[in-house]
Chain A
Amino acid sequence: MPLRIKGPRISRGPLMSRSELRLALTTGLVNAFGSISGLADSYYSAMTVPAVLAGNYGGSIELGKQRILGSLLGSVVLVVGLYGLKGIPVPLGMAISMGCLRLLGGLLGLKVGYKAGGLLLVMGWLAHSSQLSSWIPLRLAWTIFGILVALLSLQWFWPSRAFEQTLRALAALSLQVQANLQDLAKRIDPSEPHAAPRAQTTNPLGPLRSGLMAARRIVPDLLLELGSNPKRHPSYRLVILLDNAHSRLIGTVVGLERRPPAFSGDRDLLKQLHQAEHDLLQLLAERVGQWASIFAEGGVRLPAPPQAPMVWPQSWMGVESLLSDSRCNQASPEQLERIASRLVLCRQAQRAIEEAEQGWAGLLNG
């Protein structure tokens, strides 16, 4: 059940979103501070604020560093371009310099910071070329001040609540999934031969589905909060990725519930198979539990996936060799069919978690 959401109708929202009010207040107040301070060129710090806040890429400290690097790079390219390209017409010289700024920034791994750096380049080239040596250090200082204040405002003034709320809802959902996986693992645990099968009347799908829906209900708010092109935003993409992973995990839980193990603890081979399944489910439950605690921490930044790599249980790694064990033919075909389809479901859950964590790490890195 993949999530499909249409873009928000921006104009139908309240008159002012918090991010817009934040932009206005931060820009206005930074400008006021600079103006009252009496230092020259102070308005450049305010000009940097919309450059940081209007884009919707995010306000992490890492991106803040990149923006400062972008400004430094902009001032270097400005000096080199202004003196090196003296003879050629301004449009051409500016185009070459800006192209170089973009290329060099890209080569240095900058994702953002071109607006701050580019503004510095444009204004320095066109408005202050005669007094560069005094202008650049001052301007650079104001730019960096603007970036820092903009970042702080992102962290302090109304940090994106919808993202935090979505993460909380996902944390609750992860805990539900974890409980279900643990329960499923317990019921197949060969070391507990008397594990009672759960009463058939309980249906885990209801609570799980409503947990998923609770997370999805916040997504329109998240889209509104993330600015003019929210679907490009890593926060939104992470939410979609996690939604997808949880959907798949719920699919496994429901599938396993519908195919309860035909338990017979006396046969050695079946015991081994059940052990493998138990160990995998237990590990997956633990991992989903780790996700839940990561989501519960909340915060405005994109959370990172669990650091420790997944180490699959030895019993699960050896499950394929068990399949071709001829002793299994002692069991009834129905029992074997059940085992086979449960193993497919377990593998699907395993891949759901693996793929989600790969995509998650990818969002943080790129």
Chain B
Amino acid sequence: MNALLLRNGLKMATAIFVTAALAVHFTGIEYVYYSLTGTLFAVDDNDDQTWKAGASRILGTVVGGLITFWVHTIASGWGGVLLSLLFMIPVLRILGWSSGLGTAATICLMFLMIPSHTALNWDYVFNRTIDTALGCAVGIGTNVLFWPKNRPAELQAIEASLQARLLNQIQAYRGWMTDQKPRPEPLAPAQFSVSLQRMQQLVTMEQTGPAAHQLNRRRWPQRLMLWQQVGLHWVQWERLVAASDLPTPMDVNHPLRRGLEGMANLLVGQRAGAPATSSDWNALAQPSGRPLLLLLALAEELKPLQSNLRSLAQGRRRTPCP
């Protein structure tokens, strides 16, 4: 049983419990199902993660109830239901509360079709509409209460861990380039894909949550895309470094070392130095007879890597996190 499922189960149980307890306390057991229906719709839709959407659902429900009452004075039975529904839609739409339509349609059916309550009067309609709206309100409150608060922090943590992982790996490459240490094992593609998939999930979920505007303001969707590109090119870059099997130690002007330092600088928010040109790589290949194509492929991988890291650094500067 995963955490999300448990959370959903608890959310449903909490919302139903609070609604039923309130409804029993205030109105008695007879009409609790009105409130519970409202709760059920609000909790299950997962649409009302924002107070604005929630308010429009509640108001839509109330207006739907009132329209049903008004229609019942001129039509009853199934004709009344059809007429109420057809009338409700444009009114809710003009008012901008269309998200209440589902609940409104349900209480319209309850008002006009449940046989024992066919004798509708103003008190009954008003009270039951308020009951349903109360159910919606509890459902929406529970949705927001149970909305995970730690997702922005988790996104932040994933980005930080990706950054740390790259910096760590870069440090290991430095050791290899200068200190005669063995070349580090390449990062497994799965190490990126697991983090990136989680990031993708979080971004998708947060986009429909109460803090969606913050997500967009911090440019998380764009940052995710940039990290996906970084992951793709980093894996390839490391494979090519392994394949090129360049001798160490490398001096500070070695094209590979300059590229690496450029990435390290970008990761910590500094400027990357000028990239090595193809003639630098050619100069490296010529005396030793190394395959120039491989070195140039390395250089080509470095270009998107650095440009994506640069965009990420610029994004971080523009939207500093709290």
Contacts and interface: CB of A to CB of B under 8 A. Distances in A.
B20 to A, nearest CB: 4
Contacts of B10: 99
Contact of B114 (A43, A55, A341): A43
Interface in B282-296: 282, 285, 289-294, 296
Contacts of A28: 78, 81-82, 85-86
A249 interface: no
B249 interface: no
Interface in A63-100: 89-92, 94-96, 98-100
Interface in A310-366: 320, 322-326, 328-329, 331, 333-334, 336-337, 339-341, 343-344, 347-348, 351, 355, 359
B301 interface: yes
Given A15-B94, A329-B292, A95 B17 contact: yes
B93 A10 contact: yes
B239 A333 contact: no
Contacts of A323: 240, 243, 291, 293-294, 297
Interface stretch (B36-44, B168-176, B266-274, B312-320): B36-44
Nearest to B30: A126
Contact of A90 (B24, B88, B93): B24
Interface stretch (B99-107, B148-156, B177-185): B99-107
A308 B103 CA distance: 44
B44 A2 contact: no
A324 B293 CA distance: 7
Nearest to B208: A232
B23 to A, nearest CB: 8
Given A32-B78, A348-B232, A54 B105 contact: yes
Given A10-B98, A28-B86, A351 B291 contact: no
A95 B1 contact: no
B89 A21 contact: yes
Interface stretch (B126-134, B158-166, B220-228): B220-228
Nearest to A228: B99
B30 to A, nearest CB: 8
Interface stretch (A101-109, A132-140, A175-183, A282-290): A101-109
Contacts of B16: 91, 94-95, 98-99
Contact of A11 (B17, B77, B93): B93
A344 B229 CA distance: 12
Question: Which applies to chain B's interface (DSSP): helix, strand, loop or mixed?
Answer: helix
Given A103-B5, A228-B98, A324 B304 contact: no
A152 interface: no
A172 interface: no
Interface in A41-66: 43, 46-47, 49-51, 53-56
B291 A54 contact: no
A114 interface: yes
Interface of B: 1, 5-6, 8-14, 16-17, 20-21, 24, 29, 32-33, 36-37, 40-41, 44-47, 53, 77-79, 81-82, 85-86, 88-90, 93-96, 98-99, 101-103, 105-106, 109-110, 113-114, 200, 204, 207-208, 221-222, 225, 228, 232-233, 236, 239-240, 243-244, 278-279, 281-282, 285, 289-294, 296-297, 299-301, 303-304
Given A127-B114, A329-B289, 17 more contacts: A11-B98, A24-B82, A32-B78, A35-B77, A46-B81, A50-B101, A90-B29, A99-B16, A107-B1, A115-B41, A229-B45, A232-B46, A232-B208, A237-B204, A320-B240, A320-B243, A337-B278
Interface of A: 2, 10-11, 13, 15-17, 20-21, 23-25, 27-29, 31-32, 34-36, 43, 46-47, 49-51, 53-56, 89-92, 94-96, 98-103, 106-107, 114-115, 118-119, 122-123, 126-127, 228-229, 231-232, 237, 244, 320, 322-326, 328-329, 331, 333-334, 336-337, 339-341, 343-344, 347-348, 351, 355, 359
Give the 8 A-B residue pairs with the shortest CB-CB distance, closest first. A54-B102, A99-B13, A28-B82, A95-B17, A91-B20, A11-B96, A43-B113, A24-B85
